[in-house]
Structures are given as C-alpha cells and as structure tokens.
Structure 1
C-alpha cells in the first residue's frame, strides 16, 4: 500500500500541473518518491509502528511526489522551461539540463535504520 495517495499530493501542492495531473500518473510519481524514501531510510514503513504514518514521513513523501510530478509533467517539458523556481526547488531545462530535488533527509533522519551507503568503492587496508 502506498505511503500517500494522489489526493494527498493534490491537497499538498499549489501547482496547477500537479493538481491537474491524472491520478494514474501521480501514482507513478508517488512510487518514485517511495523508492527514494526507501533508499534513504533503508525500509518501506510497512511495520505496524508506522501506522499511522508519521507526519514527517508523509511530508517527505508529498514533497518528493510533487517534485517528480512536476519533472515528469509533459506540460512542463513541452513549454521548454528555461528556468523556474518554486519553494525549495529550482530547475533549468532546455539550455542547461539542471534539476535539483528537495532534500528530505532532515525530515527522515529519525527513521533511518541503515546508514546511507556512499556510492563508489570503499577500500580497507590491513596489516599483517
């Protein structure tokens, strides 16, 4: 079961492209947000202790789902946005392919079960 519903995302967002987005597409945006949250925290919030879902987790899911809805919106891409800023987000398309997503780590910090894995190679040296 998803952490939030398309209705939750629409109620949270003030952006027309999110509020007018089809529920089926918002469900895909929510899935992307849940994958991001799982990567950060190391779990899916399916345990009974997370029923009801903590407000901080719900807010993080709403922020990420809104972000993905805007980025995945054909309307936004079709307009050829050069640069747009809203709340904590900013992105540039067309000329400069720059996208930054909201940082929800501080919202999710109390629920992290595994330390964030760094990308790359980790080397250890041992002496004999």
Structure 2
C-alpha cells in the first residue's frame, strides 16, 4: 500500500500586502503592470506567439526589453516558454493558467484606456489650455 504524501504549498496561508515596501507581491504587481508587461500579457491572450512575432505585435519594444519582460513573466509563472529542438530553433510563448487570469484583468484596463482616449485627450487639452 503506497502512502500518498500531501505537499503543502510553500506560502500557504501567508498574508501579502502590496502596500508594504518589503512585500514580494509588490514586485509581481510591477512586472504585470509595467508598460511591456501589460502589452505582452494582452498580446499573449490573443494567441501563442514566436518571439519575433510578439516583438512586431508590441511595436516599439526592443529585443532586449522583450526578452527581459518575458523572462520575468516566466519566472513569475505567468508565461510559458516552449523551445522546440529544430534547426533553426523555434521558441513559442503562451500564457499559463495564472497568466490568463492576469491577462484578462490587464486587457480590461487596456480596453478601457482605448475606449476613453477621446475624453482623456480632451482633458489634456483643457488642462494644457488652462496652464
């Protein structure tokens, strides 16, 4: 008879407070809400991308910045990097389950910003005109 060992998550029951400067959740929040983090998550919500395709989709991101962003999101468990043993090598990026949850949330913010841009630009004009 095999005995099943229950594995307890490392931080089960831990309380995290992003308002505390020492809280590790603050770093993850920064990763997810950075300019390139938001755009990477939103793009990967659309579909799986190869690196060069994702770079084209995220117009303006440097190769170095995209690589760093993807590595960080992969380390956070939000992005899955899958390398295929081919010549030339093929690498694809997709979202994990947690990544899909985060992407859904930030995509809502992206949609809201795009929808409200006329009012935001009008507020800019009013503010800049008053200055």
What TM-score results when the alignment is normalised by the length of structure 1?
0.25
- Higher RCO by CA contacts (8 Å cutoff, separation 6 or greater): 1
The structure number with the bigger radius of gyration is: 2
Structure (1/2) with the larger helix percentage:
2
